[in-house]
């Protein structure tokens, strides 16, 4: 009964860390995104103007068409070889037309992203639809505009199918709180929209490195479907710049709770796509973390400027990668020097600093440490044996080991086996004992060599035979 | 329904003016149905076409199937028919590239004929007693549907239509005097109409409710599991 209540209680407190629709609307959007700011966010041309005024890079505006009259008189020769046609108040990416190149040998015929051609007549119809409000949020008359087409960056190209990936960053109180990379896939038809089957990859705010990933609404994935492209550990280029641009965009837009959409252009680096006044909640699944918890942590902080906000965000919401890695791989991340507890005889355990060395095959400890652990008798008995009777050569290790054990196993207490080491600096035979040790809370039973390490810095070295439950972070 | 219970004087006064009982009961129930829809949406997280649509559909169901639960099949059939035709028309109109209003008008025309067809079939089964307005209301659902379809796609629109229908059926089963609960409720509102005021604090609480919806608990279950551990 008590267990049931406590699990119910922990479920309840866990659910308080996740942001739901009710809370998003009532606690964050309503009080922090006032009407004027929301109108600005829905107006792409106006947003663009504000970005430009504040030196936030954004795709260049080529031309706009505000009425049927302007459409009739439009000079089609103004259009470059590639461009994007958008409705000003389009909803959820609807009505967007991407043109890749001008068709060779034809006057004003272009090629679309799906390879089909499009002529002025088709553009005219599409724009006419936009003007009538076919794609607009309110179904009322709209404006069509042409903007520069972005080119996909080298770094992200391998991860996306056809379209351009973008990065969503949630900014609250001038602090970046959560971010995800959205990748267009084959099943989303080149659109980076999660609802349509795109992939959302969580990003660690501190390092700009991707963590966990979700496809569509709820499917947790490690790789891009049907490929060997690992989604974890992608380093987002220009990460700092993106964070700072987003915080500044929040300042100038007046949206207190902002979803900033940024793309990475091959030539121009990060460019600001649009402001989002009602950012979705799936970003939490991509990051496997609750947004509400994070929003509450930045609530009321006094942030002086964009750089300060970025610093605060990085300090608060970073370093989850390691934990992430541990959970997804089932392996713990340890450093190259770790505190290890060795369990000896008579319930004796000693903690020492040990070197984690993937270059070594097995684990060795110093004679002195072995004595302290209660293996004095083993060492004394071993030292009485004349080792010169064994002639160590390359490849005869296992023969010597067998011979040694046959002769002496019963005379040496606690001896598990011996290790025969053939090395240029001096070949040796070492006693091997079996005991348990604890690395970062993991108990491991290991065969350990005893060797003289008195002239070395660390009294123990952990070799790769005992490290298969761990990943080693050399910077730790 | 026989008046074996003691009417509230206020309700008695209303009846004495010659207002039909069924209408008065439905009007009294209207705010309760609306609150019920709010509860399903805010707390359970069912989506629907706003609050008005599921509420009014519930009332339509109550009006069209006030004699027996079996009659519910007709309004449900009409509802589904309207939605399916609205959905199919989308693909036809997409090619024609028509403006929004003429498109909805065309939709309405086709749907009206289809509904006439359904009613004729219903006549074969001996069901002839349909009132005009509930059917009209069902037909107008198509505009809601097309609107969502344009903005969020056919899939979303279809699922919203389904959830609206689901809410309306549940609402109907709870409110219609045919079921035992519905009987208690409809007698209750006539005996103690002031109890309806109780929904004011309920809505005030729901209006400030910021907890996760039941559907969100499911949607975010992986995160919740992770946070717990």
Q: pLDDT per residue over A363-382, tens digit each? A: 899 998 888 888 888 888 88
Alpha-carbon span A202 to A243, nearest angstrom: 15
Question: Taking the domains of chain A in order of start, what are their residue ranges?
Answer: 15-41+153-327, 60-148, 332-472
Q: What is the mean pLDDT of residues A209-222?
A: 86
Q: Chain B closest CA to A271's CA: distance in Å?
A: 27
pLDDT category, A476, cuts 50, 70, 90?
low
List, for residues A400-420, the tens digit of each pLDDT value. Answer: 888 888 888 888 888 888 888
Helix, strand, coil % (nearest 5) of chain A?
35, 30, 40
Share of chain A above pLDDT 70, in %: 93
pLDDT at A306 over 60: yes
* The Cα angle at residue B46 between residues B45 and B47, in degrees rounded to 5: 110
Residue A327 is predicted with a pLDDT of 58
Nearest CA in chain A to B46: A21
Residue B1 is predicted with a pLDDT of 47
Q: Chain B closest CA to A190's CA: distance in Å?
A: 17
- Give the structural domain span for B179: 9-228
Test A289 with B223 for CB contact under 8 angstroms. Answer: yes
Compute the count of residue pairs across chains A and B with CB atoms less than 8 Å apart.
Answer: 74
Q: What is the mean pLDDT of residues A67-95?
A: 85
Q: What is the mean pLDDT of residues A131-156?
A: 84
Structure tokens at B158: 């279809």
DSSP 8-class letter at A396: -
Q: Which residues contact B45 (CB under 8 A, 6 or more apart)?
A: A21, B213, B214, B215, B216
Dihedral angle at the C-alpha atoms of A167, A169, A174, A177, nearest 10 degrees?
Answer: -140
CATH C-level class of A332-472: mainly beta
Domain A15-41+153-327: CATH superfamily is: ATP-grasp fold, B domain (3.30.470.20)
In a domain, B1, yes or no: no
Residue A192 is predicted with a pLDDT of 66
Q: Which of B100, B213, B228 sits opposite A21 (nearest CB)?
A: B213
Residue A228 is predicted with a pLDDT of 78
Q: Which of B42, B45, B220 sits opposite A284 (nearest CB)?
A: B220
Residue A77 is predicted with a pLDDT of 85
In a domain, B127, yes or no: yes
Residue B146 is predicted with a pLDDT of 82
Residue A168 is predicted with a pLDDT of 95
pLDDT category, A360, cuts 50, 70, 90?
confident
List, for residues A427-454, the tens digit of each pLDDT value. Answer: 788 899 988 888 887 888 888 989 888 8
What H or E segment, with its residue span, contains residue A3?
helix A2-15
Q: ipTM of this predicted complex?
A: 0.76
Residue A257 is predicted with a pLDDT of 94
In a domain, B3, yes or no: no
pLDDT at A159 over 90: no
Alpha-carbon span A126 to A135, nearest angstrom: 10
Let me know: does A45 contact A53? Beta carbons within 8 Å: no
Q: Chain B closest CA to A25's CA: distance in Å?
A: 9
Q: Which residues contact B134 (CB under 8 A, 6 or more apart)?
A: B60, B63, B64, B75
Residue A203 is predicted with a pLDDT of 94
Residues of B in contact with A218 (CB under 8 A): 219, 222
Residue A325 is predicted with a pLDDT of 57
Beta-bridge mates of residue A351: A341
How many folded domains does chain B comprise?
Answer: 1
Main-chain phi, psi angles of A70, to 5 degrees: -60, -35
Residue A170 is predicted with a pLDDT of 96
Interface test with A, best of B42, B211, B220 (most A CBs within 10 A): B220
Nearest by Cα to A284 from A218, A197, A198: A218
What pTM was estimated for this model as a whole?
0.70
Residue B166 is predicted with a pLDDT of 93
Write out chain B in H/E/C secondary structure: CCCCCCCCHHHHHHHHCCCCHHHHHHHHHHHHHHHHHHHHHHHHCCCCCCCHHHHHHHHHHHHHCCCCHHHHHHHHHHHHHHHHHHHHHHHHHHHHCCCHHHHHHHHHHHHHHHHHHHHHHHHHCCCCCCCHHHHHHHHHHHHHHHHHHHHHCHHHHHHHHHHHHHHHHHHHHHHCCCCHHHHHHHHHHHHCHHHHHHHHHHHHHHHCCCCCCHHHHHHCHHHHHHHHC
- Could you say which residues of chain B have pLDDT below 50? 1-2
Nearest by Cα to A370 from A361, A382, A379, A358: A379
Residues of A in contact with B99 (CB under 8 A): 132, 134
Task: State the average pLDDT for chain A.
Answer: 85
Residues of B in contact with A123 (CB under 8 A): none
pLDDT category, A323, cuts 50, 70, 90?
low
Tell me the torsion sign for CA atoms B172, B176, B179, B183.
positive
Residues of A in contact with B219 (CB under 8 A): 217-218, 285
Q: Which of A15, A27, A129 sits opposite B217 (nearest CB)?
A: A15
List, for residues A223-269, the tens digit of each pLDDT value. Answer: 888 777 888 888 899 999 999 999 999 999 999 999 999 999 998 89
Test B227 with A14 for CB contact under 8 angstroms. Answer: yes
In a domain, B52, yes or no: yes
Alpha-carbon span A303 to A137, nearest angstrom: 34
Residue B227 is predicted with a pLDDT of 81
Test B99 with A290 for CB contact under 8 angstroms. Answer: no
Alpha-carbon span B12 to B190, nearest angstrom: 9
Q: Chain B closest CA to A20's CA: distance in Å?
A: 5
């Amino acid at each position: 009964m008590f267990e049931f209540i406590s699990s119910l209680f922990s479920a309840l407190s866990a659910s308080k860390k996740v942001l739901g629709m009710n809370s998003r609307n009532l606690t964050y959007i309503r009080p922090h995104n006032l009407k004027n700011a929301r109108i600005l966010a829905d107006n792409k041309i106006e947003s663009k103007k504000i970005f430009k005024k504040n030196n936030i890079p954004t795709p260049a505006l080529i031309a706009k068409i505000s009425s049927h009259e302007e459409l009739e008189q439009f000079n089609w020769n103004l259009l470059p070889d590639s461009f994007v046609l958008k409705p000003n108040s389009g909803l959820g990416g609807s009505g967007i037309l991407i043109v890749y190149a001008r068709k060779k040998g034809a006057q004003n015929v272009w090629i679309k992203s799906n390879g089909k051609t499009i002529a002025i007549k088709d553009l005219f119809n599409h724009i006419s639809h936009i003007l009538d409000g076919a794609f607009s949020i309110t179904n009322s008359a709209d404006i069509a505009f042409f903007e520069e087409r972005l080119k996909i960056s080298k770094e992200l190209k391998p991860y996306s199918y056809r379209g351009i990936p973008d990065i969503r960053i949630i900014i609250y109180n001038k602090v970046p709180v959560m971010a995800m990379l959205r990748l267009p896939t084959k099943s989303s038809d080149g659109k980076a929209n999660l609802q349509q089957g795109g992939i959302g990859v969580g990003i660690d705010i501190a390092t700009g490195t991707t963590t966990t990933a979700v496809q569509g609404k709820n499917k947790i994935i490690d790789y891009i479907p049907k490929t060997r492209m690992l989604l974890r550990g992608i380093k987002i280029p220009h990460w700092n710049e993106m964070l700072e641009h987003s915080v500044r965009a929040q300042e100038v837009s007046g949206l207190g709770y902002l979803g900033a959409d940024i793309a990475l252009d091959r030539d121009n680096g990060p460019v600001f796509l649009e402001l989002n006044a009602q950012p979705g909640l799936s970003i939490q699944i991509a990051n496997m973390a609750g947004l509400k918890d994070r929003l509450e942590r930045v609530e009321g902080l006094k942030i002086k400027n964009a750089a300060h906000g970025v610093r605060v965000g990085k300090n608060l919401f970073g370093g989850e990668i390691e934990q992430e890695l541990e959970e997804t791989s089932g392996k713990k991340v340890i450093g190259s020097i770790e505190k290890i507890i060795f369990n000896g005889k008579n319930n004796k355990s000693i903690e020492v600093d040990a070197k984690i060395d993937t270059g070594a095959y097995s684990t060795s400890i110093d004679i002195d440490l072995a004595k302290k652990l209660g293996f004095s008798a083993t060492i004394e008995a071993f030292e009485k044996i004349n080792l010169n009777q064994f002639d160590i050569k390359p490849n005869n290790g296992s023969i010597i080991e067998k011979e040694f054990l046959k002769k002496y196993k019963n005379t040496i207490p606690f001896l598990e086996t011996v290790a025969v080491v053939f090395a240029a600096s001096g070949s040796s035979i070492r006693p091997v004992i079996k005991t348990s040790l604890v690395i970062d809370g993991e108990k491991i039973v290991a065969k350990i060599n005893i060797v003289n390490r008195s002239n070395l810095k660390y009294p123990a070295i952990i070799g790769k035979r005992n490290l298969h439950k761990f990943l080693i972070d050399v910077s730790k | 329904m026989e008046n074996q219970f003691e009417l509230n004087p206020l309700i008695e006064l209303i009846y004495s003016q010659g207002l039909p009982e069924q209408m008065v009961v439905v009007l009294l129930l209207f705010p309760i149905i609306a609150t019920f829809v709010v509860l399903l949406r805010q707390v359970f997280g069912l989506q629907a076409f706003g609050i008005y649509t599921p509420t009014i559909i519930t009332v339509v169901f109550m009006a069209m199937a006030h004699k027996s639960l079996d009659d519910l099949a007709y309004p449900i059939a009409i509802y589904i028919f309207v939605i399916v035709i609205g959905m199919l028309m989308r693909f036809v109109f997409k090619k024609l590239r028509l403006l929004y209003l003429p498109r909805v008008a065309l939709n309405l025309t086709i749907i009206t004929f289809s509904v006439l067809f359904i009613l004729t079939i219903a006549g074969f089964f001996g069901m002839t007693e349909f009132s005009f307005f509930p059917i009209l209301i069902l037909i107008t659902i198509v505009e809601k549907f097309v609107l969502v379809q344009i903005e969020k796609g056919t899939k979303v629109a279809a699922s919203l239509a389904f959830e609206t229908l689901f809410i309306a059926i549940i609402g109907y089963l709870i409110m219609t005097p045919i079921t035992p609960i519905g009987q208690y409720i409809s007698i209750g509102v006539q005996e103690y109409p002031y109890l309806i005021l109780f929904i004011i604090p309920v809505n005030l609480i729901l209006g400030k409710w910021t907890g996760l919806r039941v559907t969100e608990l499911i949607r975010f279950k992986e995160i919740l599991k992770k946070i717990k551990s």
